[in-house]
Structure 1
Amino acid sequence: MSNTLAVGKVEVPGRVWIAPMTGVSDLPFRETATRLGAAYVATEMVACAEFARGRPDAVRRAAVGKGLPLMVVQLVGRDPVFMGQGARMAADAGAQIIDLNFGCPSKQVTGGVASGSALMREPDLAEALVAAAVKAVDVPVTVKMRLGWDDHSRNAADIARRAVDAGAQAITVHGRTRCQFYKGEADWEAVAAVKAAVGVPVLVNGDIVDGDTARRALEQSGADGVMIGRGVYGRPWIAQAIEAALRGEGFREPDADERLAIAVTHFRRSLDFYGQSVGLKMFRKHLASYIEAAPWPDSEEARRIARSALCRLEDPAATEDGLANLWLGDRRLAA
Structure 2
Amino acid sequence: MVKIGDIEIGEFPLLLAPMEDVSDPPFRAVCKENGADLMYTEFISSEGLIRDAAKSLQKLDIYDYERPIGIQIFGDKIESMREAAAIAEEANPELIDINYGCPVKKVACKGAGAGILLDIPKMEEMTAEIVKRVEKPVTVKTRLGWDHDTIKIIEVAKRLQGVGIQALTIHGRTRAQMYKGEADWSLIEEVKNHPDIHIPIFGNGDIDSPEKAKLYRETYGVDGIMIGRAAIGYPWIFNEIKHYFATGEILPPPTLEQRIETVKSHLKFSVEWKGDKKGIFEMRRHYTNYFRGIQGIKPYRARLVETPTFEDTLLVLDEIGEVFGAVGV
What TM-score comes out, normalization by structure 2 length? 0.92
Q: 2:258 aligned with 1:264, yes or no?
A: no
For residues 133 and 176 of structure 1, the distance between their equivalents in structure 2, rounded to whole angstroms, comes to 25
Describe the superposition over 1:154-210 as per-residue Cα deviations: whole angstroms up to 9, x where unpaired. 112211111111111111111111111111111111211221342111111111012
Shift in Å, 1:121: 0.9
Q: Structure 1 residues 215 and 41, CA, compared in 2 at 3 Å: closer, same or farther?
A: same
The answer to whether the Cα contact below 8 Å between 2:259 and 2:291 also exists between their aligned partners in 1 is: no
2:92 is matched with 94
Q: How far apart in 1 are the matches of 2:5 and 2:90?
A: 18
In the other structure, the counterpart of 1:310 is: 304
Provide the rounded CA distance (Å) in 1 between the counterparts of 2:154 and 2:315: 50
Hey, what's the Cα distance between the residues in 1 that align with 2:115 and 2:297?
37
The answer to which of 176-185 and 186-195 deviates more is 186-195
Q: Does structure 2 retain, via aligned residues, the 8 Å contact 1:64–1:72?
A: no
Greater Cα offset, 21-30 or 312-321? 312-321
Supply the AA of the counterpart residue of 1:228: I
Per-residue deviation, 1:252: 5.5
Q: Counterparts in 2 of 1:138-153, with a 5 A limit?
A: 138-153=135-150
CA distance in 2, matches of 1:150, 1:288: 33
| Residues 255, 170 of structure 1: alpha-carbon distance in 2 compared, 3 angstrom cutoff | same
Which runs of 5 or more residues in structure 2 are unaligned? Answer: none
What amino acid maps onto 2:318 in structure 1? A
Match status 1:211 vs 2:205: no
> How far is 1:255 from its partner?
2.3
Query: Does 1:163 pair with 2:125?
Result: no
Say if 2:203 and 2:225, in contact at 8 Å, map to a contact too. Answer: yes
Secondary structure of 1:169's match? coil
**Matching of residue 71 in structure 1 with residue 48 in structure 2:** no
Question: Within the alignment, does 1:137 sit opposite 2:131 as a pair?
Answer: no
Residues 263 and 290, structure 1, Cα contact 8 Å, conserved in 2: yes
The DSSP-based 3-state class of the residue aligned with 1:178 is: coil
- Residue 306 of structure 1 and its aligned partner are, at CA, apart by 4.0
Runs of 4+ in 1 over 3 A off after TM superposition: 248-254, 302-309
Unaligned runs of 5+ in 1: none
Name the counterpart of 2:317.
323
Asked whether the 8 Å contact 1:23–1:285 carries over to 2, the reply is no
Q: How does 1:183-332 map to 2 (within 5 A)?
A: 183-197=180-194, 198-248=197-247, 250=249, 251=251, 253-292=253-292, 296=294, 298=295, 302-329=296-323
The 2-side partners of 1:151 and 1:135 are apart by: 32
Cα RMSD (Å): 1.9
Contact 2:97–2:139 (Cα < 8 Å) also in 1: yes
Q: Secondary structure at the match of 1:132?
A: helix
Q: Show CA shifts across 1:24-63 (max 9, x none).
A: 1001111221122211111001111211221110011121
Match of 2:169 in 1: 172
What count of residue pairs does the alignment treat as equivalent? 321
The structure 2 residue matched to 1:26, chosen from 7, 24, 40, is 24
Contact 1:38 1:237 survives alignment (8 Å): no
Matches within 5 A, 1:113-128: 113-128=110-125
Q: Is the 8 A contact 2:40 2:69 kept in 1?
A: yes
